[in-house]
Structure 1
Amino acid sequence: MTAQPPIVDLSTWQAALAEQSRIDEDLIAQTKVAAASRRRLPMTPVSQNYTVVGPEGEQSLAEIFGDARQLVVYHVMYAPEWEAACPHCTQYAINQGHGINKEVSERATRYVLMSRAPYEKLAAWAELKSISTPWYSVPTEFAEEMGRIAPEFGDTPGITVFFKADDGTIYRTYSTGGSIIETTMPASAILRLTPYGMQERGEDSPEGWPQRFDAM
């Protein structure tokens, strides 16, 4: 029998929904507190204006900002010797969709992907998976400085936020490799509104709920 939520009358459902709404509002309030704290973080300079390779050929890190003041990077796990990118990182990149830069560019921000693999591999993988976000090949030294290479694991995923000052100096303002990454995925946000949730192994769900997927 297909797993499903319990069936109740309308008043019982409305009472349960009201309680859930209170929980949701508490979560939103906490999220706003975290975002406000993030906006008050200090920043630290990047050691050098690294050279990267992307759709426009070789460029400096400063150049890929374009006219933006802020640059948000998702570090895709794709080591130089690999023949394919990490499947979870790939799914994340696909989920971000085509229109994200149109929206964030209106707020002085640009969003890109970065990996250590050669650009030719990145371009081929992007075409195969219909990934439209600009993707740049970066030197290992850059990945190490950003904390995206772990001695015991190799390449690791993460998000780094950069800020370009008036004098052109580039700073890091925020970085994470934690579960907050999931909250930036549109599909994850939508799935978490459903009874089955993310359907991932180990997710806190009622017994019998489908859990066919590894965590994103």
Structure 2
Amino acid sequence: MNIPVAESNTVHHPVVSRDRWLAERKKLLAREKELTCLHDRIARERRALPWVRVDKQYVFDTLEGPRTLAELFEGRRQLLVQHFMFAPGWEQGCKSCSFMADHNDGANLHLPQRDVTLLAVSRAPLADIERFRQRMGWKFTWASSHGSDFNHDFGVNFSQDEMSSGKVDYNYVMQPFPHEEAPGISVFYKDDAGDVFHTYSRYGRGVEAMMHAYALLDLTPKGRDEDGLGYGMEWVRHHDRYELAPAEAAPTAGSCCAEHA
């Protein structure tokens, strides 16, 4: 990966007085508050959606042995599943899904306090999942749905017949899709009787809800800085495959690089 030098990253932008900046900032603040109110309203509408009872029995492989969907809740009422793109035979999990998963352990310090269990599910065999999880240093629970219809039933795995037709049912619309695996997030609820209900799923850019780093990038002058890339997340790597950022890579006096320059 070629990293551009700092000079090529200079942002050319209008520079104004503090008073002018403050006036413009207040205009934007009004728009941001509108967005916050809209976000809250949509969240209420999301919670008001009807539910679907999950009658089909799904069994997952976990490090604690076989577990049903109801058992994945770990004693809580709400389950949030990251549909992680990692198919049987793959050497490693999807790098973009890994970008999502890098945020899971931090979230899991807090979500149980609100009656939520967060975990990942993939079709790869558990041994492959565990090898990759150890490599990435993640602690969150990651279950294998290998041999079950779970991923297909919840819209993130497509059969060969579906792929050969040229369009698959993804993100609630028939559309072309380049892979048999797709990213997504699904939410489930378990009642006092132990019955499980599917309450919500989102796909496509909707999975950015789990990408806190993107929310931070959106606050910066350069934003996501993805214009001109082949696709939006082309820059993303597995976190153990990044080269040093420019500031870190610059040699210092007395360093090995400086000595051999």
The runs of at least 4 aligned residues of structure 1 exceeding 3 Å deviation read none
Q: Which has the larger radius of gyration?
A: 2
- What are the superposed Cα offsets for residues 170-194 of structure 1, whole Å, 9 maximum, x if unpaired? 1100001132211332111111111
Q: Distance in 1 between matches of 2:137 and 2:13?
A: 36
Partner of 1:116: 123
Matches within 5 A, 1:40-189: 40-96=48-104, 98-138=105-145, 139-150=147-158, 151-152=162-163, 153-189=179-215
Q: Distance in 2 between matches of 1:110 and 1:128?
A: 23
1:158 is displaced (CA, Å) by: 0.1
- What are the superposed Cα offsets for residues 67-126 of structure 1, whole Å, 9 maximum, x if unpaired? 100000000001112111111001110133x23223111111100000000011111111
Structure 2 CA distance for partners of 1:213 and 1:149, relative to 1, 3 Å: closer
CA contact (8 A) 2:80 2:188 kept: yes
CA contact (8 A) 1:201 1:215 kept: no
Structure 2 CA distance for partners of 1:202 and 1:36, relative to 1, 3 Å: farther
Mean Cα deviation higher: 158-167 or 143-152:
143-152
Overall identity of the aligned pairs, in %:
32
Q: Distance in 1 between matches of 2:227 and 2:100?
A: 18
- For structure 2, the 5+ residue unaligned runs are 1-6, 164-178, 237-261
- For structure 1, the 5+ residue unaligned runs are 204-210
Name which of 27, 31, 36 aligns with 1:23: 31
1:213 is displaced (CA, Å) by: 4.9
1:202 is displaced (CA, Å) by: 6.1
1:12 is displaced (CA, Å) by: 1.2
